[in-house]
């Protein structure tokens, strides 16, 4: 192991000691390793760092990604005793997350079913079902052990320092888990639910597998977190209970969960659009039907247009009361 890798290992241990989850600390190490290929991470040079940021933006990299890189770099410089405040990029408004529809979930599962290698693809299909019908994160799923499934529930160890939680397993999903354990699970790890031929399934495999499926079926925006959004969205739609959604997703703050309430509000607005359009058209038709024929009513208000205290509407003439504003 090189001196740099030893230093990265020390950095990893420090971040875990300061409260990072194992997955978060691993991601920080990966980013520092990547950054070391582009800038000198032992001799901080702000000019070079700004040039790196500019090149990343020209390459179309999102500000959010660059902001995370700068945060990790700041932690790294603090670790090596080179305390330096990194550039802060203005936060962009968060776009609405991609939420797959039930039909798209069905299409993904059907894609898994057509493969002949059942040992691999029955497992991959089970991964999709666990994502979609329990709302777990990738880092939480890879930590699931066989004993975490009991009494129709899945015990989830939070990856973000939140409370661990239990989530219900649909009966059909329980049956699929049983079949997987009996027929298709690779016996390379004694405890892990999800395994490869080399042991517990790694985080990167799942992300890559989901991304490849998305590209193959015409959903390039698909990623593991999409299924969590699916779970939260349809759970809220069917229960209208935001607190329940918060508990089952394991959110520490209810404000995080309100994204699904906001999505439902936008969905309702879109559904209401056609209804309002129809209402408007029907209203116009009604107005046309009751319009006053030309010349009608002139005996009563022969010169209504010259009277400042009268206004005409589409249906009738009404007096207007004037007010003085102070």
Classify residue 192 by its DSSP letter: B
Q: List Cα–Cα distances, 288 to 163, 273, 275, 291, 315, in angstroms.
A: 62, 23, 20, 5, 9
Number of neighbouring beta carbons within 10 Å of residue 55: 11
**How many Cα atoms occupy the beta-carbon half-sphere of 196 within 13 Å?**
10
Report the catalytic residues: 137, 160, 225, 228, 251, 260
List Cβ neighbours of 258 (8 Å cut-off, separation of 6 or more): 242
Specify whether the CB–CB gap between 70 and 86 falls below 8 A: yes
Q: List Cα–Cα distances, 1 to 298, 308, 321, in angstroms.
A: 99, 91, 87
Specify whether the CB–CB gap between 99 and 263 falls below 8 A: yes
């Amino acid at each position: 192991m090189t001196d740099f890798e030893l230093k990265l290992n020390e950095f990893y241990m420090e971040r875990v000691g300061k409260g990072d989850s194992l997955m978060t600390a691993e991601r920080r190490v990966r980013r520092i390793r990547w950054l070391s290929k582009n800038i000198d991470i032992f001799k901080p040079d702000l000019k070079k760092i700004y040039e790196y940021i500019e090149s990343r933006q020209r390459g179309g990299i999102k500000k959010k990604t660059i902001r995370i890189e700068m945060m990790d770099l700041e932690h790294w410089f603090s670790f090596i005793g080179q305390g330096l405040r990194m550039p802060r990029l203005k936060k962009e408004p968060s776009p609405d997350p991609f939420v797959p529809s039930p039909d798209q979930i069905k299409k993904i599962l059907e894609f898994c079913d057509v493969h002949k290698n059942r040992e691999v693809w029955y497992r991959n299909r089970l991964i999709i079902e666990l994502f979609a019908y329990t709302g777990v994160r990738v880092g939480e799923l890879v930590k699931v052990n066989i004993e975490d499934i009991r009494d129709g529930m899945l015990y989830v160890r939070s990856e973000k320092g939140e409370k661990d939680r239990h989530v219900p397993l649909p009966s059909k999903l329980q049956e699929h888990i049983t079949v997987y354990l009996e027929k298709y699970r690779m016996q390379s790890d004694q405890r892990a639910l999800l395994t490869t031929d080399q042991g517990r399934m790694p985080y990167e495999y799942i992300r890559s597998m989901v991304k490849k499926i998305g590209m193959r079926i015409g959903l390039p925006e698909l990623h593991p977190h999409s299924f969590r959004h699916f779970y939260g969205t349809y759970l809220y739609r069917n229960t209208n209970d935001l607190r329940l959604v918060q508990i089952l997703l394991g959110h520490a703050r209810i404000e995080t969960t309100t994204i699904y309430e906001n999505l439902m509000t936008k969905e309702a607005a879109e559904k209401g659009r056609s209804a309002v359009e129809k209402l408007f058209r029907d209203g116009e038709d009604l107005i046309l039907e009751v319009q006053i024929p030309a010349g009608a009513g002139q005996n009563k208000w022969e010169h209504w247009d010259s009277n400042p205290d009268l206004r005409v509407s589409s249906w009738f003439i009404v007096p207007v009361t004037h007010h003085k504003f102070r």
